[in-house]
Structure 1
Amino acid sequence: MAAGRSRWTATLVAVAVVLGWLVVGGIAGPYSGKLGEVATNDNASFLPADAEATRAQDLAAGFVDRESTPALVVYERTGGITPADQQRIQADAARFAQVPGVIGPLPPPIVSQDKQAAQVIVPIDSAEGEQIRTVVDELRNIAGPDRDGLTVDVAGPAGLLGDLIEVFSAIDGPLLLVTLVVVLIILLIVYRSPVLWIFPLLAAGMSYSLAAVVVYVLADNDVVKLNGQAQGILTVLVFGAGTDYALLLIARYREELHRHERPWDAMKAAWKGAAPAIIASGATVIVSLLCLLLSSLNSNRALGPVSAVGIAATLLVMLTFLPALLVLGGRWAFWPRRPRHDDADPRTEHGIWGRIAGFVARRARTVWVVTAVVLAALAIGVTQLGATTLGQSQLFTQRTDSVAGQEVIDRHFPAGTGSPATVFTAQAAAQRVAQVAQGVRGVASVAPLGQRGENAPPEENAPPKVVDGRVQLNVTLADPPDSNGAEQTIRDLREAVHAVPGADAVVGGFTAINVDTADASVRDRNVIIPVVLLVIAVILALLLRALVAPVLLIATVVLSFLATLGLCALLFRYVFDFPGVDQSFPLFAFVFLVALGIDYNIFLMSRVREESVRRGTRAGVLAGLAVTGGVITSAGIVLAATFSALAVLPLVVLVELGVAVAVGVLLDTIVVRSLLVPALAYDIGPKVWWPSRLSRSHREGDRAGAGVDRA
């Protein structure tokens, strides 16, 4: 009777937990499709407050009634712009000025010197924010399709931003759908059960809903600044990490069902065995992501908390909701391969990993030396990884309207037309600054902002507008505003005008924003990477109660990271034909690869330590590898596949990040966690646990070769 009451109590508790989470899911669920409403994608708002481009923005606010983001409507006819074309362009410009959000009056259309192209500069109120896409769409509707050989495209900063917002709008739908399908397929393959896949997928969906509502509230109240990149990463991170944690818990639960008759008792044992590793893993990822708060870029500082919220929500759900579901499912959840209460050794269900463990034991030193050499060889490919800021035509994986328009501008105009650099200087030194700026290589023209403002037609010999003793100079660049050439011109321009005595010159504009963002990315990489490594070392030392093991594990993770970068550099250059990587790529790749890669170290070594206490270190290594190899590999495949889903977004930066995480995780699980780490730990023996008491144990399982046959 006592057993019966205990069973009913356990069932009621599980039902209560499940119902409670379903209520939470019902409330939080709708927010998973509303994150796009609170996302912002304005690059300038991500700059640090002390950046020169930020100071220039503050000064620019005094020279205009309203800050604007220019769209460039570009017309091209290879045989020359005809009078009929000019009439159409004039009519279009008149209609552009009437669009809500456009700041009029518009400057007159500009015809290229070769008479083959014309462009209309359409300033859009920057206060429109995410609605800039709506204004750009209306401009494209007015301009209409190409006609009779006359092509028309909407480009410039506003056109680019409109295309980016359109790309990120796919996150709430296609990206989420692709991620769900990928996880579902892999779970069906891993479990070979028509039932069991439901539990981790339902829990992962609950995790995403909980994370979405928290992030929505934080972003809506300006606590964090959510952007499309962070939103996309949140989606794949929650489903990837959540499925990983579910795989680990379910694998342990299956083991314990062999030892316990009642599912509730099996779950208690499984939770006790798996929860410390899951919590340590999640804590490592959360702390690593929060290190991004040290970034000087607001976009990076937002990504850290947003992703950390996702992992925290995933931990909470996977350690409460998922166990309750599994208890209610009992052994039937594993149908048709239901585990029996037979006290079987869990290693008997992992035959292939038992054989791999035996191979590692027989050739431990050879295995770790060969794998380390192979990884080091791959790391040489890092020399092929060129860190460049991708230009507008290189940002997308497909040709967009803004890209096509920029190509027309490059062919017929000074490429910086419509998106000039801005120089703010003291009035007394303005003439000298203008002369110096004109002499900088890569500068096409320099003109002061007139009294009537930047949108008014230019006036001959008109005096410049003066605000608080300063003058604004508009500097048109010869190169496209988002090219490497334009960025070098900005650096040279700053050096030149800063040297003018008494000018107190400040250089800003679209290209200057890119320059300051790139510089901040380099600084962030140099600061954050060492901090992340230190934080992970401390967490590993506390979890494993040792110093040698954490050092070895971090060394393997760093080696794996460098090998991944090297392999990706070769793939990007010779397979995908990408033009380069963004400055932010190495930092993001490091944070996600190291934080997530260390998960598998934790999953493996926490189980190895548990087995080492009972069997001895070397036998513990073999037992730990045999029972966790399958689940870790499955988890790695799931995570790699979910990050690969980022490829549905046609942005080179996110595709590169998705490929890097997928390649790195597979390399980590198949090579590092299956061969390198077990072979190293086996070869070193008990000393791997130094200075803990376990390092001084001398059991039969500590001897080299112990347990090879049994594994």
Structure 2
Amino acid sequence: MIEWLVRGLARTKWLVLIAWVAITAVSFLGLPDLQSIVRETEQKFVPSDSESVVAKEIMERIDPEQTTRSNAIIVFSREKGITSEDQQWLKNKADELKSLKDNDGIKSVQSAYEMPEMAAKFRSADGTTELIIVGFQRAENDAATQEAVESLGESLGGAPEGSSVALTGSAPISKDFQKSSEEGLKKTELLTVGLVLVILFIVFRSPVAPFIPLLTIGLSLIITRGLVALATEYGMPVSSFTESFLIAILFGAGTDYCILLIQRYREELSVDNNPVEALVRTMRTVGKTVIFSASTVFVAFFLIGFAQFGLYQSAVGVSIGVVVTLIAGLTLTPALLLILGRATFWPSKINSGGGHGESKLWSAMASLASRRPVAVLLVTVILLAPLTLLFEGKRSFDDIAEIDPGLGSVQGFRQVEQSFGSGEVFPVSIALTSSESMRSPEALAALEFASASVARLDGVKEVRSAVRPLGEQLNELTVQDQLSKTSAAIEEMKSGVDKVADGLTTASSEIAAGQGDIDKLTGGLQVMSDKTKEAKNGLHKIHGGLVSAAKGTDQIAGGLSQSADVAASMAADLQGLLQAHPELMQDKNVQMLLGKQQGLTEGLSQLKKGTAGVQSGFKQLNPSIAKVADGLGQLADGQSQAAAGAEELKGGLNELTGGLKDGAKGLTDISSGLGQVNDAQKSIADKGGSQIPGWYMPEEALSRPEFQQALAFYMSEDGLTTRLEIVLDVNPYSGDALLIVDKIRDTMRQSLANTAIVDPQVSLSGTSAQIHELKDISRNDFTRTGTFVLVGIFIVLMLLLRSVLAPIYVLLSLGFNYLVTMGIVEFIFVDLLGEPGLSWSASFFVFLIIVALGVDYSIFLMARFKEEYRPGGITYAMSRAMTTTGGVIISAAVIMGGTFAALMMSGVNTLLQIGAGIVIGLILYSTVFMGLVVPALANLVGEANWWPYRKQKAAAGQESQAKGADPVLGG
């Protein structure tokens, strides 16, 4: 079959070349551009049912007309403070952008000039920085948004001299990230081609041979790009990593396959100098190895498609590239070899075979691994195992670190971070829903309580919501402010009570002083007897009014009013008595009594006025009021006794005096109680509003224009949805921010439980919330997808080697190599270079590529090991396999390492770490593990290497030997 295909290829070699060129041209001209698709593809890859995505959709209900999907932040700063000229420029810029609303993708413009009552949100406290926030209709990766960002950046020229203007926000950061990725990709392409070309020149020592792999892989890459771009129309995800991995893996693995073919062809060509026959033998021996090697890479990247996480899935495009490269390697490369013939290796002469020969170094390692397999394994484990402990899984989710710090979006972000705080650009957003409207005083009070609870969390700078639009409590609605106002009212009330008490005390003293001349009034008091009874009834009413003061101060006021009327009536009666007996007017005692009566009337009048200020406090002061009622009751009794007879008037006045004293004492107690209440309120107020859970929203406050504007901004019209913005005082990408996310969610749910907000549902969104989800999603998917990859590779190895045990220890060696590699990489980047952690996706892609490509070297070795095996000849077979394939493995590792080393020059931090990890991993695996560990394991396992297919393997080996096949790899 192989011979028939090769001979057919020999007849159509030019047609094959033309066909590949034509297919490449059609792909380049007719298929979509992958780079453009990547540029417009959103890179978040968070599942559509995740909390952050759901929260974002919920918040769009608040004001669908103003909802934005991305933003740009104009950051204007002046080191010594913004001037009036700067503010005028900013106002003009805001007006200019507002006029463009609904054009150029702009949907909203927010600034201190559009929202003066929220100016603190846009101006830094130190006065050096001011922001204008521009919202866009579409996502940050959309072409229209990117064009709008470009236009916006160009419009920022002409700023006042000495100022600095930068553009940051989700859209500019995304644009700069894409720009960095594209520039890094160009560097990677050039470096990859250059490195591969140099390595191939060294390997082949010919200026012609290297261009065969380059042409094969170059055409494959162009076709693959078109096919992957086309596949995106059917749901295949892509990312900025897709093209980078395509370049690295196709050039790395593809070059390895081409080297195997070309080197074997060179060796076979030296046998009979017949290009066709040499190619037949080459494809018969090496072709199988190339197919199985490509199969492991294909399986690994194909199974990535079953990942749930979009960024991981975006590597599935590599599987398409592997298939295209494999087909090209088995058709185009042989066609080029047939076209060029011996000229492939010019100026070298093909005389006595080429091959790789036998490596003395690998021969020595084979001898050591066969003689001391246990010692080799123990020493290797003892030396390398501690390196695995360096891998603690520290991960960084900082997208800003991926971008060149000299770019405008990063500089703008750092300026906002410096002037406003780390969390200002990317706050945590909370979507809160209720089954009933939250536009009520009770629900808003519950919302304030939740806002205050979150604001007290460590790591939270401020909370912005419908009840605190500027991130602070509305003072006039806090208990603290209301206590201050109540305190002033109590002070006034206390002053009135003190005046009444002083009046009663004065009246009591004056009446007592005039009791010596009371006998002269006997006749007059007889006339007053009837009126005194009325006074008694009035005083009883006063007493009843005072006793019921706890139920309503209006009754107290009524009782005092009646007392005042009675006192006035008594004064009138006394005046009538004096008119009837004018001679009494000449009596000093009568004049004194008349003055005392007027003093009493005035005192009662003052009591009436003072009582109006005491109304709100009387409920708490019933004991003191009761004392006043008792004293006034005694006064009524005294008047009744005076009315019963002039002889008892003196005693009645004595009781009246006592009653007045008791009344004065009662009012003094009232004053003291009010003073204690006031002191307690002042003490509470001094402790601050955060100590007071109460919060009151009067109905009239809801209709105020400024509060309506805050409600419109943060709450839907039906009141069923509202949002809160949590500004952190830590970097939103940091590990601390991720810990705060859980605390915010728990605090919100706890504080809203059993409140006026009915059936509250809390969902978090924003950069920190999304990163928190990515952390769990990526880790779980790593475990799940990594298992798929290992199982898939195990099946391929089992089919190739016809063994169960050999694939197991090969995969174990790959896993151990991965842990050692990641320990070294984390030590370099985290411990030595001081980064907070490795890029969150680096560990996954290093694992995938090390396993998928590292297993190729195992296939090279184990396929030859299987071919050389004879029953009882494990040591010889492994030694033979190592000495003949060691050079192939090293060459392949150098090529692969070189292509991934090019990623380290891309300028993208994640690719730098991935490139470093793969280079380190490939070096370790191609030397230590392929040279010592795997051979030692093979020698230890012995004849069980082929379990349960030992008889079949022996027969296959004998048959191969009988036919005289001597493949470099495979059989």
Q: Which has the larger radius of gyration?
A: 2
- Aligned residue for 1:336, secondary structure, equals coil
Distance 2:8 2:323 in 1: 28
| Equivalent runs, 1:305-454 vs 2, <5 Å | 306-340=317-351, 342=352, 348=357, 350=359, 353-354=362-363, 356-358=365-367, 360-361=369-370, 363-383=372-392, 385-390=393-398, 392=400, 394-396=401-403, 398-427=405-434, 428=436, 431=444, 432-433=446-447, 435-440=449-454, 441=457, 442-448=459-465
Deviation digits for residues 365-405 of structure 1, max 9, x if unmatched?
4444333333323222213x51232252x333544322222
Pick from 655, 662, 665 the counterpart of residue 912 of structure 2: 655
Deviation digits for residues 435-484 of structure 1, max 9, x if unmatched?
3244222333434469x9xxxxx943443442676322131312343333
Provide the residue aligned with 2:743 in structure 1.
492
Which region of structure 1 is more displaced relative to structure 2, 201-210 or 495-504?
495-504
Q: Which residue type is aligned with residue 525 of structure 1? A: F
1:101 aligned onto 2:108:
no
Contact 2:292 2:796 in 1 (8 A): yes
Rate the CA distance shift 1:438–1:312 in 2: closer, same or farther, 3 A. farther
Contact 2:107 2:135 in 1 (8 A): yes
Q: Which residue type is aligned with residue 100 of structure 1? A: D
Distance 1:64 1:487 in 2: 29
Distance 2:6 2:380 in 1: 50
Deviation digits for residues 49-82 of structure 1, max 9, x if unmatched?
2210111122233332353312111122221111
- Aligned residue for 1:460, secondary structure, equals helix
Distance 2:333 2:891 in 1: 18
Contact 2:112 2:123 in 1 (8 A): no
Deviation at residue 597 of structure 1 after TM alignment? 0.9
Q: Which residue type is aligned with residue 600 of structure 1? A: Y
| Equivalent runs, 1:478-557 vs 2, <5 Å | 478-479=728-729, 480-499=731-750, 500-501=752-753, 502-557=759-814
Deviation digits for residues 150-195 of structure 1, max 9, x if unmatched?
2222112122112112112326633322221121111112221111
Contact 1:423 1:506 in 2 (8 A): yes
Contact 1:133 1:165 in 2 (8 A): no
Distance 2:47 2:800 in 1: 36
Provide the residue aligned with 2:614 in structure 1.
none
- Aligned residue for 2:72, secondary structure, equals strand
Provide the residue aligned with 1:584 in structure 2.
841
Which region of structure 1 is more displaced relative to structure 2, 475-484 or 282-291?
475-484
Distance 1:696 1:326 in 2: 33
Distance 1:337 1:683 in 2: 43
Deviation at residue 600 of structure 1 after TM alignment? 1.0
Provide the residue aligned with 1:707 in structure 2.
none
Q: Which residue type is aligned with residue 325 of structure 1? A: L
1:176 aligned onto 2:175:
no
Provide the residue aligned with 2:889 in structure 1.
632
- Aligned residue for 1:546, secondary structure, equals coil
Which region of structure 1 is more displaced relative to structure 2, 108-117 or 369-378?
369-378
Distance 1:540 1:89 in 2: 66
- Aligned residue for 2:888, secondary structure, equals helix
Deviation at residue 681 of structure 1 after TM alignment? 2.0
Rate the CA distance shift 1:375–1:314 in 2: closer, same or farther, 3 A. farther
Rate the CA distance shift 1:168–1:132 in 2: closer, same or farther, 3 A. farther
Provide the residue aligned with 2:925 in structure 1.
668
Distance 2:358 2:32 in 1: 41
Provide the residue aligned with 2:46 in structure 1.
47
Deviation digits for residues 102-139 of structure 1, max 9, x if unmatched?
22343336211111211111112225614433322332
- Aligned residue for 1:39, secondary structure, equals helix
For the aligned residue pairs, the C-alpha RMSD in angstroms reads: 3.1
Distance 1:638 1:632 in 2: 10
Provide the residue aligned with 1:296 in structure 2.
308
Distance 1:443 1:403 in 2: 23
Deviation at residue 101 of structure 1 after TM alignment? 1.8
Deviation at residue 550 of structure 1 after TM alignment? 0.9
1:156 aligned onto 2:169:
yes
1:594 aligned onto 2:602:
no
Distance 1:174 1:191 in 2: 25
Provide the residue aligned with 1:253 in structure 2.
265
Structure 1 unaligned residues grouped into runs of 5+? 453-457, 701-711
Deviation at residue 146 of structure 1 after TM alignment? 7.9
Provide the residue aligned with 1:197 in structure 2.
210
Distance 1:374 1:145 in 2: 63
1:64 aligned onto 2:76:
no
Distance 2:27 2:802 in 1: 39
| Equivalent runs, 1:595-614 vs 2, <5 Å | 595-613=852-870
- Aligned residue for 2:391, secondary structure, equals helix
Contact 1:522 1:583 in 2 (8 A): no
Contact 1:284 1:539 in 2 (8 A): yes
- Aligned residue for 1:466, secondary structure, equals coil
Distance 2:852 2:397 in 1: 25
Provide the residue aligned with 1:460 in structure 2.
707
Contact 1:41 1:161 in 2 (8 A): no
Which region of structure 1 is more displaced relative to structure 2, 56-65 or 555-564?
56-65
- Aligned residue for 1:126, secondary structure, equals coil
Deviation digits for residues 247-281 of structure 1, max 9, x if unmatched?
22222223323444422222222212222222222
Structure 2 unaligned residues grouped into runs of 5+? 114-121, 470-704, 754-758, 959-971
Provide the residue aligned with 1:213 in structure 2.
226
Distance 1:345 1:88 in 2: 75
Contact 2:805 2:945 in 1 (8 A): yes
Which region of structure 1 is more displaced relative to structure 2, 114-123 or 148-157?
148-157
Provide the residue aligned with 2:74 in structure 1.
73
Rate the CA distance shift 1:691–1:491 in 2: closer, same or farther, 3 A. same
TM-score (norm 2): 0.66
Contact 1:132 1:158 in 2 (8 A): yes
Q: Which residue type is aligned with residue 315 of structure 1? A: L
Contact 1:537 1:551 in 2 (8 A): yes
Contact 2:185 2:906 in 1 (8 A): no
Rate the CA distance shift 1:55–1:6 in 2: closer, same or farther, 3 A. closer
Which region of structure 1 is more displaced relative to structure 2, 6-15 or 522-531?
6-15
Which region of structure 1 is more displaced relative to structure 2, 526-535 or 683-692?
683-692
Rate the CA distance shift 1:694–1:370 in 2: closer, same or farther, 3 A. farther
Rate the CA distance shift 1:182–1:370 in 2: closer, same or farther, 3 A. same
- Aligned residue for 2:725, secondary structure, equals strand
1:470 aligned onto 2:720:
yes
Which region of structure 1 is more displaced relative to structure 2, 546-555 or 118-127?
118-127
Provide the residue aligned with 1:133 in structure 2.
146
Q: Percent identity?
A: 27
- Report which of the two has the higher share of helix: 2
Rate the CA distance shift 1:347–1:582 in 2: closer, same or farther, 3 A. closer
Distance 2:32 2:251 in 1: 15
Rate the CA distance shift 1:314–1:206 in 2: closer, same or farther, 3 A. same
Provide the residue aligned with 2:35 in structure 1.
36
Provide the residue aligned with 1:568 in structure 2.
825
Deviation digits for residues 8-51 of structure 1, max 9, x if unmatched?
96632222222221211222245799321111566575111221
Deviation at residue 650 of structure 1 after TM alignment? 2.1
